[in-house]
Each structure stands twice: as structure tokens, then as C-alpha cells.
Chains A and B, each alone.
Chain A
Amino acid sequence: MSRRDRRTAAAARGRLLPEGRLAGPMPWIIAVMMFLTVLAAAAGLGLGTVVRSIGADLAGRATVQVVEADAQTRAALTKRAVATLRRMPTVLDVAPVDPETLTDQLRPWLGEDAASGDLPIPALIDVTLTPGAPVDATMARLRTVLDALSPDIRLEPHATFLAPLARLLSVLGWLAGGLVLLMTLATAAVVVLAARGAHDGHRGTIEVLHLMGATDVQIARLFQRRIALDALLGCALGFALAVMIVLTLGARLEATGSELIAAIALRWQDWALLSALPLSGVVLAAIAARRTVLGALERAL
């Protein structure tokens, strides 16, 4: 069969059901579903990026606080702690926080007293572990070493105070995944209802086709093709709108200047996954329509 013949045959097959859309508002409902699905998926993927970022950035970092009240002793302890930490092979970087920087940061709360030297402001040392080093074991080892130097030296792993936030973001990410799943099921249900309605609406034509020797698969293909086209329309529309929203939100998040909020970003893999959603929606609709119509046809002779 030539390509032209195949096109003509396809057009002729298409005409077996009435022109136009089969199931009324189905494309619009699918558009809404796809819009919400893409937004939920984007939120889940974006939050996943943040959770991964928090995990990667903070799991191997800690702050050492030297809480000695006497400024000279504090400075001596800080120097010894830095030297000790730099000798440890599992520590990549040791960066004492400049006391003046610290004073500047406290000034909005403490006023000029922060710079007077009368207030015992702890010295801080930022510590970054060597990538790949066992975090928990290394932190425990650091704590032991620093305790041996002085009980006034405290270790605060960043993961400890950011863990609840990471857990919350992770839960939100999973919630978004759950929403995507629910939305997928709802879309399939809409298609099933639409296919049943279309089947009932064309019962007379189906009966004639059957009596002329059409197989169930031939008839199901007609509905499958038409519903897939409706779904394609809805999915494309919903996806396009959702992408516009996601891009706009992305720009707004970046504009906040917050490192944490700006980390809610989508990688190219995430965009690839999002792009697969409308295609999956069309395939899902076609499969649901085919199975529904085949099921309904099997109840007839």
C-alpha cells in the first residue's frame, strides 16, 4: 500500500466515527489535569533538587564554636582548634570566621555594644569535610578531638539544625509525587468515562460495523485514535500553560536572592521528565480508551 493509499485509508477509517471531538469537554478536563500534574511534578522535582542540595552542601559541613568568655583565651583556643582541625585528613577546609565580620552581623541586634569587646561573642570556625568521608564517624571524631582541647569548644554539624527543614521538603516532594499519581488516576478515569460515553453514543454505528464483520479491535482502534487526539489537544494545552507558570515562578524564586529558595530549580533531567508527561498522558488515554471500548464490546455479541 502506498503512502497516499495509507493516508486515504486512515482518513476513511477516521470518518467511520462522526467528525469532531468524541467526548465533549474531555480535552479541557485533560488540559486541567495535565496543567495540575505538571505543576505538581515540577514542585516535586524542584523540592527534590533542594533536598539534594541541602544534603550535599550541609551534610559535610559544620561550625565550631569557641565559647570561652576571656577574649585572649578564646583567641588561643581558636588558633589551637584550627591547627588541630587542619591536621585531620578527613577535613578538607577550615575557615575561621573573621571576628569583625561576626561583629558586623551582630550589630543590628546588639548595637555598638557588639564591637565594644565587653560582650563575650563566641569565635566561629567553618569546617568542611573531605567529600566521601563518612560524615557521622568524622563528626564524632572531630567532637572527641575538640573536647580534648577544651570543653568550651563545641561542634555544630549543619545537618543537625537543617535536618527538619530537609525532612519537610522531602515530605512535600513526596506529596507532590502522590498528587501526580492521583492526577494520573483521575485522568485515566476521565478517559474511561469519556470512552464509555462515546461507546454508548455510537452504539448504532458500532452494531452496524459489527454486523458487517468488523472486529472488536477494528472498532476499538477508531475510539482509541479519536480519544488519543482529544487527549493530545488537552495535554498540549495543559502542558504549555504549566510550563509558562513554572518558568515565571522560577524567575520569581531566583529574584528573591535567597540561596535556599533559588535552589528550587529544575535540572535538564527534570525538564525531560516533565516533557514526557503529556506524551505519557496521550498514551495513557489511548490505552484506557482501548481497554474500555474492548471491555464494552465484549458484552455484545
Chain B
Amino acid sequence: MSAIVQFENVGLRYGLDSETLCDVSFSLHGGGFYFLTGASGAGKTSLLKLLYLAQRPSRGVIRLFGEDVVTLPRGRLPGFRRRIGVVFQDFRLVPHLTAYDNIALPLRLAGMAEGEIDAPVVEMLQWVGLGDRGDARPATLSGGEQQRVAIARAVIGRPEILVADEPTGNVDADMARRLMTLFEALNRLGTTIVVATHDLPLIAQVQGAQMMRLDKGRLADPTGALRYPPRAPGVTP
């Protein structure tokens, strides 16, 4: 399998602070299922931001789909972003749009005809158990419901990579299991899944997944050799 994501000696610094990410190198292969773990503040969200092109690194090389995205002109970023689905930690639903319109957003941005949008959106709403909440605005949804809308929005465009930042943080165990089942189903269809989570039991549910662990901005295994289950909690750089 070819590497769909490659990080080489990537460093990320916000302003004049010390590096949030330091010498991060790894490769993710197309169709893989990856977990990213680490303590709070270890740099998981920062790494994901680099992955879904919300941020450029301070140094190093990032290749997505075989292209160096660090030096990519701004005008070409949307094309890459449409190939990546993101479930944000804080959901980032558009507050004035209904659940239906939030989920339909990626399809509309991709220019899909309105007549073709309804069926997949309704299907996705039903799949995440919100079939009767399509007209609800995010403010009227519970945290768990908002998270399911965010997940539905991230996967509806059948992205090549799905990046999820703590996707099960606000849902009960049953919904968490269902979400993982969805991710596995997408993974079987060829989508590369990257999930940042603290939830080690959740990781154990997914057979064949690989894990990266960040510790103070560094990948715990500096060789970038990814494995599941983690060899030992104390892997040091």
C-alpha cells in the first residue's frame, strides 16, 4: 500500500513559544486505520490540524496524496481539503444552519446538484440516529447529537482520509461503539481513518488499527514504526 500521508521532521511553533510539535516523522498508508493518543497538551490536535490543512508547519515536509502540501499554493488547498473529512473536537457546526444543512455542506461546496443531495443527507441523518432532527439547529441539539451531526458531515462526502479529534468524547458507550463501527465500515471502503483519542478501550475495539502516541510534541516512537497494541506505555524517544 502506498503512503497517503507522510510527515518528515515536521515541527510546529505558535509565535515565539517553544515547538508544539518537534521532529515528527511518520507515514500513513491508504486504507489504514490509525489512532493518535497522548496526554492532553501532547500536540494531538496540532498534528491533526497539520493533517487537515488548517495549519502549515514551521519546518519539515508534509506530503498528502503524494504532493508536498507545505509549499502548495493557497489556491490548490481546497481541492486537497475536499478529500479530507474532519470531525472537530468542538464540532464546529455552523450555528444558523439546520442539522440537515450542516451535513449537506460538503456536498454543496463540492457543487453537487440539489436533487442529488437529499437522499444521502437523509440516509446519513438516519444512520447517526437523527432522522427526525434534520430541521434542528445546533443550539437545540445535545452535545452527543451535535457530535453525530459533525461526524455525518465529515463522512458524507466519502473522503479519502477521515480525521477525527476525540469523536467519542461526548457520546455514550453504545453510540461510541456505533461510531467506531461506522468508521470501520468507511475504512473497509478504502477511507484512511485517523482518530485522536484518550480512550484506550475504544482503540482495542478496532482490529488491525495502528497507534501513534505523542508525548510533549514528539512522536513516542521516533522511528515512526506504528503498531497495535502499543508495545508499552513508556515508549521513549
Contacts and interface: CB of A to CB of B under 8 A. Distances in A.
Contacts, number: 72
Contact of A212 (B75, B81, B97, B114): B81
A211 B55 CA distance: 10
Contacts of A218: 109
A245 interface: no
Interface size class of B (residues with CB under 8 A): 20 to 34
A16 B53 contact: no
A5 B114 contact: yes
Interface stretch (B100-108, B210-218, B225-233): B100-108
Interface size class of A (residues with CB under 8 A): 20 to 34
B81 A12 contact: no
Given A12-B108, A298-B74, A213 B82 contact: yes
A12 B82 contact: no
B10 to A, nearest CB: 16
A214 B74 contact: no
Contact of A301 (B74, B86, B96, B97): B74
B162 to A, nearest CB: 13
Contact of A5 (B82, B86, B113): B113
A294 B101 CA distance: 24
B15 interface: no
A16 B106 contact: no
Nearest to B82: A213
Central interface residue in B53, B54, B108, B153, by most chain A CB within 10 Å: B108
Interface string B57-79: 00000000000000000110111
A15 B101 contact: yes
Contacts of A18: 96
A212 B101 contact: no
Nearest to A19: B96
Contacts of B92: 204, 207-208, 211
A210 interface: yes
A18 B101 CA distance: 13
B115 interface: yes
Interface string A1-41: 11001001100110111110000000000000000000000
A211 B74 contact: no
A275 interface: no
Shortest Cβ-Cβ A-B pairs, 8 listed:
A213-B82, A213-B81, A8-B114, A18-B96, A213-B78, A215-B78, A9-B114, A214-B109
Interface of B: 52-56, 74-75, 77-82, 86, 92, 94-97, 101, 104-106, 108-110, 113-115, 153
